[in-house]
Amino acid sequence: MTLSSRARATAATAALLAVLPAGAAQAETMVGIDANDRVVTFDSATPGSAKARAVRGLAAGETIVGLDRRPATGALVAVSSASRLYTLSPRTGQVTPIGMAAFTPALSGSAVGFDFNPTVDRIRLTTSNGQNLRLNPDTGAVATTDGPLKYNAGDQGEGTPAFVGGSAYTNNVAGATTTQLFNLDSRRDALLLQMPPNDGGLKTIGSLGRAFTNPIGFDISGTSNTAYASLRSPGARFSTFGRIDLATGRFTATGRVGSRAVPRLLKALTVR
């Protein structure tokens, strides 16, 4: 390639990058579970092009309520309404049980937060009823029952029951030595920091800038540390996908999940 040709190519590349949507170069693969128990996959830059396949292997009446990628192995792990853990194949939708029985205490609440703590390879399970559990991803059992979720003294949410419907850890990679746990409260439309996590203390970071209700999808990329969320506006039949600024709580929408003809309402979300 001649110098002038190289210069023209460089200029063309720069022009192309200038018109690409923000974040397009950093697009990541997302996997979610929709309200009809379908595995939904899409690119973080184009949520409208979501593809779906049915979840297979659940008992009658059982549904998936939480999903996350296990940093230590790369496997997708799900939790069901029957308080069971499963591995999930995003390619086939097949679930495989972890352990022989449901865990106790059973999950309690209409909304669930579910995410791996990368520093100890344990699952944090939170619920809208204030549950705060640690689960063992090898046995499917409860490792520890931690303190109930509550707003810290002096926080603007103090005295208000926490209604957590999404949880996610930062630095979500194998071998991580530090991490922070964030939550979403759909009654206060707010991003929270759970600190200390085992005590269940909650600190308000800020408003997302829009009203939302359950179901919620929430995860933080281990690669980019970008916080992604799928939010349901009150009365909507679909989720709006976007990013959350962990410093302020502000949500920036990318677009609806699924098409107008086939909308997708997500109840769980993870970065693949």
The predicted pLDDT at position 81 comes to 99
Burial of 60 (0-12, 13-18, 19+ CB in 10 A): exposed
pLDDT tens profile 113-171: 999 999 999 999 999 999 999 999 999 999 999 999 999 999 999 999 999 999 999 99
pLDDT tens profile 47-95: 999 999 999 999 999 999 999 999 999 999 999 999 999 999 999 999 9
Rg of the chain over Cα atoms, rounded to whole angstroms, equals 19
Contact 30, 44 (CB under 8 A): yes
pLDDT tens profile 16-48: 334 444 444 479 999 999 999 999 999 999 999
Q: What residue ranges do the domains of the chain occupy?
A: 27-271
26 secondary structure, DSSP code: G
Question: How many whole angstroms separate alpha carbon 123 and alpha carbon 114?
Answer: 7
Contact 228, 243 (CB under 8 A): yes
Note the CATH number of domain 27-271: 2.115.10
3-state secondary structure of 165: strand
Neighbours of 58 (CB within 10 A): 19
Residue 143, token pair as written in the block: 């490792």
The number of residues making up the chain comes to 272
Q: Cite the DSSP H helix spans in the chain.
A: 3-19
Residue 186, token pair as written in the block: 């759909």
pTM for this model (two decimals): 0.90
Residues in Cβ contact with 236 at an 8 Å cutoff, skipping those fewer than 6 apart = 265
Residue 105, token pair as written in the block: 């205490």
Residue with token string 């810290």: 152
Count Cα neighbours of 70 within 13 Å in the Cβ-side half-sphere. 21
